[in-house]
Amino acid sequence: MNIPSDLRIKIFADGANLEEILRLAKDPMIKGFTTNPTLMRKAGIEDYETFARDVLAEIVDRPVSFEVFADDLDGMVAQGFEIAGWGPNVNVKIPVTNTQGESTVPVVERLVAEGVVVNVTAVFTLDQVRAITAALDASVPAIVSVFAGRIADTGRDPIPHMREAVEILRDRPKAELIWASPRELLNVFHADESGCHIITVTNDILAKLANAGKSLETFSLETVKMFHEDAAGAGYEIQTDPGKLKLVR
Ligand code: G3P
């Protein structure tokens, strides 16, 4: 049985809603936060820096990732240093390539050389993990976010993939592997079994943690009640013909 208290993995919250982030910050189970421009746009954030500074004014004891959005390598470096200056607990997210597919390894090297804690994101392939690992400094903490859920969306099993990524990263003991973009609660346990250090989880999946280990009989009954209540709530009716019952017999 998968039980949350047995988990070794750290759970980060992935999102860009300030209220939600502040609510989750009260939960000691949440060990850090990640954001990305897509989540921010969905949350209606208009001013990136103000949002980030609002978050960082409240969250001072756990890491928070903010992503650069420049598309040229020099611009990424400049934004990376700027974002790193927003707070000591900031992790600077660097996409693994720019939109031309050009590797951002030189960006990672320049930031890491100055002690910036990077979170290399949108990582999919093991070759990318190898290249990033080589660019990291053994004495500087760093994060590598492999999008296990998107890998699963291609029909590939992310578990052996993530196990291998863990092995590659062993060369950099201060680096941590994130299982990013989980698709279901079970992925928290998959990530833990795979040896990932962190999983970043959106609110909808975090809410399902309460279901871990739940009795299937109870869950079945709740599901039956849900169908019944929704049918009644919608006012559905089927006119039955008593004559048909006789035919069945
Ligand atoms: O942490 C990665 C996440 O923000 C992206 O997830 O669901 O868009 O693949 P998703």
- Find out whether the beta carbon of 14 lies less than 6 Å from any atom of ligand 1: yes
Residue whose entry in the numeric block shows the structure tokens 């970043």: 200
For residue 243, being part of any structural domain is answered with no
| Ligand 1 atom nearest to 200, measured from its CA | 1
Catalytically annotated residues: 93
pLDDT at position 244, please?
Answer: 75
Strand partners, 119: 93, 143
For residue 241, being part of any structural domain is answered with no
- Find out whether the beta carbon of 181 lies less than 6 Å from any atom of ligand 1: yes
- Find out whether the beta carbon of 67 lies less than 6 Å from any atom of ligand 1: no
Query: Tens place of pLDDT for every residue, the chain, 249 residues?
Result: 787 888 899 999 999 999 999 999 999 999 999 999 999 999 999 999 999 999 999 999 999 999 999 999 999 999 999 999 999 999 999 999 999 999 999 999 999 999 999 999 999 999 999 999 999 999 999 999 999 999 999 999 999 999 999 999 999 999 999 999 999 999 999 999 999 999 999 999 999 998 999 999 999 999 999 999 999 999 999 999 877 766 555
Between the alpha carbon of residue 8 and those of residues 30, 71, 94, 171, the distances in Å are 13, 36, 26, 21
Domains: count for the chain: 1
CATH of the domain at 87: 3.20.20.70
pLDDT at position 247, please?
Answer: 59
How far, in Å, from the CA of 206 to the mean position of ligand 1?
14
For residue 67, being part of any structural domain is answered with yes
Supply the residue whose CA is at minimum distance from atom 3 of ligand 1: 181
For residue 26, being part of any structural domain is answered with yes
- Find out whether the beta carbon of 65 lies less than 6 Å from any atom of ligand 1: no
For residue 24, being part of any structural domain is answered with yes
Q: Determine the structural domain holding residue 83 and report its residue range.
A: 10-213
For residue 219, being part of any structural domain is answered with no
